[in-house]
Amino acid sequence: MGLSVTLSNALAGMDMNQRGLTVVSRNVANAGTPGYHRQKLSLVEDLGVNSVNVRVAKVQRAYVQALETQTHRETGKMGAMDVKAGFMNQIDQLLGKPGSINSLDTQLANLKASLQSLTTSPEDFVSRSQVVDRAQSMAETLNFLSRSTQTMRVEAESQISVHVSEVNQYLSSLADINADLTDTTRDDDTRISVLDERDRLINKISELVDVSVDYRGDGSVALHTRSGIGLLDGKASQFQFQTAGNLAATALYDADPAKSGVGQLTIATPSGLAIDVVAHGVLHTGRISSLLDQRDNSLVTLQNQLDEIAAGLAQAMSTIDTAGAAVAAGGADGFEVDLANVQVGNSFTVKYVEGGTAKTVNVVRVDDASKLPMDSTAANGVRTIGLDFSGGIGAVATSLNATLGAAITVSNPAGTTIRFMDDGAGNTTDINSLNAHTTVTADQGAGTALSLFTDNGGGSFTNSLDGVPQKRGYAGRIAVNQAIVADNSLLVKHETTTSIGDATRPNYLIDQLANLEFTASTASDQATGFFKVSGNVENLVKQALNFQGNVIASTKQAYESQGVVMETLEMRAKEAYGVDIDEEMAMLLQLQNAYAANARVVSIAKELVETLMQI
């Protein structure tokens, strides 16, 4: 091997060592930098005429695409779980532990206890005042919980707005990076730093929205959601969101923007197509998806449960149950009841046996034509039918005859009376009972029922379904009847002539709280854990608290489990991409020794050349 070859090999070795030292120093300097991928030299043999040496092919970056794909998926799940856990923690603090001083079950127990005391001392002013105080405390607690629930929905919208700005910025930056990566004039060092930034941006995006990534040969990427909507392919799509401001309990999402009461989130593709993210189920995981779920589902469910409790509380005390009178005619038997006092939202219930099967039908007055037809059967078998009473009871009877079939005869014998008769000699049906459920209209002279709780402006709560259902948001509006606040003797004197020591009305109120049962209107959904709270008011409170407690506990467990998944992925990423300082120091020593050896060869070659020149 000649002197020139030796010198060439030594210089090549020094160049390789210098590049290696640069890579090692870069690794050490970025050992703690998030998203940094360890680098190393890729060497290839260089075959000469009379020798073999090595040269640097390129700088390689540690990268495992399967690990990146899994990380993107799990990061989206973690972002969603983090949002949900945050809101569940707020709900947990809001509701408090069952039995705590300000919890709903304690407030209700205090109200019941004060009513119980009133039954034994109705003449005692202090006892009556305590009932009013406890009723106001109950109403104020429901008001506070309702306001806080809506505040959290506003908070969700605010966070959505912030994250939309962030994801748009990240997508724009990623589009610029794609342009850099397609530039073939870039050197390896520059490309590698750009690739690190590319992956950091993708991770940030995947935390906000669920993404799938298509990697191209030049290092550029295309992004789309798992539902197939393109986020980045050459040009970036743009998310657009405008908050709705303060949200009331009646402000719900609707696919029709004209009917929706919340902020609308859309995504505009580069071609100009605008897609409603919620209506088309564009997002499945990520922080934005979870925030939408909190705003439109979880917090709405909480509000619905509060409204059910408030409605049950008001109706338990203000409902008058009127039992139908038994009648017989032409060999047929049945019952009839006067419906003169049935207001919109009030109802009557008929129980009968047909072909050996017990049936219960609840008929609700609904005069809003847009809500009709209404006919559904709950899980407990109770069939609810909505009918328009504005046309008179005769029209109601005609409609029920057509709906219930020939085995039962429904008629309007006179005025506002409705009558249900069995089939007589056929003996295949029997009418067991008929009861009208109406809302008391006066504090005195209308029976022992009492509107202790009212709606806005002191109006009665009848559970009207016309227009916006009266129950929706009622927890935020429920208040104590101001007439009773001004004169607490109304808790006792159901007639002007009633003795102040008469316990009839207090006994009725506490009996209604214990025995009047309700079936909530919240739809069941096993997949999400929604359920129908039902039973008396105490049951409504307990079931709502248990439901929220279970959701909070399961969310905490899921959040912790997802945290373990993320820790595992971080460990795998550290093993695959991380910088081991000890290894780098060992490599540094090797490179230094090799550099010194090559430098020594060059030095000797120089001495030989100088000696030859002197000969």
Q: Which of 305-309, 464-468, 534-538, 539-543 has the lowest mean pLDDT?
A: 534-538
First to last CA, the chain: 22
The answer to whether residues 455 and 429 touch, using CB atoms and an 8 Å cutoff, is no
**Banded model confidence at residue 35, pLDDT cuts 50, 70, 90:** confident
**Banded model confidence at residue 471, pLDDT cuts 50, 70, 90:** very high
pLDDT of residue 63: 84
pLDDT of residue 13: 61
pLDDT of 46 strictly over 60: no
Please compute the mean of the pLDDT values over residues 119-130 and round it to a whole number. 96
Report residue 316 as tokens: 């338990």
Report residue 27 as tokens: 């690794």
Closest CA to 505 of 436, 440, 457, 456: 440
Strand blocks (E) in 388-428: 409-411, 417-421
At 248-297, the pLDDT tens digits run 999 999 999 999 999 999 999 888 889 999 999 999 999 999 999 999 99
What is the widest separation between alpha-carbon atoms in the chain?
A: 146
**Banded model confidence at residue 585, pLDDT cuts 50, 70, 90:** confident
User: Burial, 194: exposed, middle or buried (Cβ in 10 Å; 0-12, 13-18, 19+)?
Assistant: middle
pLDDT of residue 378: 82
pTM over 0.85: yes
pLDDT of 532 strictly over 70: no
pLDDT of 526 strictly over 60: no
pLDDT of 527 strictly over 60: no
The three-class DSSP label of residue 68 is helix
Please compute the mean of the pLDDT values over residues 233-259 and round it to a whole number. 93
pLDDT of 44 strictly over 80: no
Report the range out of 23-27, 142-146, 579-583 with the highest average pLDDT.
142-146
**Banded model confidence at residue 8, pLDDT cuts 50, 70, 90:** low
The answer to whether residues 110 and 137 touch, using CB atoms and an 8 Å cutoff, is yes
Q: Which of 98-102, 493-497, 506-510 has the lowest mean pLDDT?
A: 98-102
How far apart are alpha carbons 236 and 220 in whole angstroms? 13
**CA distances from residue 494 to 270, 281, 323, 480, 537 in whole angstroms, order as listed:** 70, 55, 20, 17, 23
Higher pLDDT, 541 or 527: 541
pLDDT of residue 599: 67
pLDDT of residue 608: 67
How far apart are alpha carbons 373 and 366 in whole angstroms? 10
pLDDT of residue 528: 37
Bond preceding residue 122 cis, omega within 30 of 0: no
**Banded model confidence at residue 5, pLDDT cuts 50, 70, 90:** low
Looking at the chain, the whole-number percentage of residues with pLDDT higher than 90 is 68
Report residue 416 as tokens: 């506002």
Strands 382-387 and 357-365: parallel
- Structure letter (DSSP) for residue 233: E
pLDDT of residue 276: 95
At 389-415, the pLDDT tens digits run 999 999 999 999 999 988 899 999 999
SS3 content of the chain, % helix, strand, coil (to 5): 50, 20, 30
pLDDT of 423 strictly over 80: yes
Closest CA to 132 of 423, 487, 376, 470: 487
Strand blocks (E) in 120-246: 212-215, 221-224, 230-233, 235-236, 238-241
How far apart are alpha carbons 219 and 515 in whole angstroms? 70
pLDDT of residue 121: 95
pLDDT of residue 193: 85
Residue 28 carries which side chain, given as an amino acid letter?
V
Q: Which of 147-151, 298-302, 374-378, 487-491 has the lowest mean pLDDT?
A: 374-378
Instruction: Work out the mean pLDDT of the chain and round it to a whole number.
Output: 88
pLDDT of residue 529: 41
